[in-house]
Amino acid sequence: MGKRLVTVLSLVLGILHLMLIYLFLHDWQSFTTAFGFISWVGLILFGMIICSFIGHQVR
């Protein structure tokens, strides 16, 4: 169950990062708004939570 959850969370995080890359490359003006900043910070926090979860699964 744990490996499957980690796989799903990793895929979701990867998709969200690809969306941010798209915004940065093609629609950078919307990326420089408050929404873009909140998305960026949110993804960093989400990634830290996933890394913490993976660290607890490995131990």
CA 7 to chain centre: 13
Predicted local distance difference test score (pLDDT) of residue 22: 79
Task: Write out the two tokens for 27.
Answer: 């629609």
Task: Write out the two tokens for 31.
Answer: 């990326």
Q: CA 26 to CA 20: how far, in whole Å? A: 10
pLDDT single digits (tens) 6-51: 778 778 878 877 887 777 777 777 667 787 778 778 888 887 887 7
pTM (2 decimals)? 0.54
| Whole-number Cα distances in Å, 28 to 20, 31, 33, 34 | 10, 5, 9, 12
pLDDT at 1 over 70: no
Residue with the larger pLDDT of the pair 42 and 3: 42
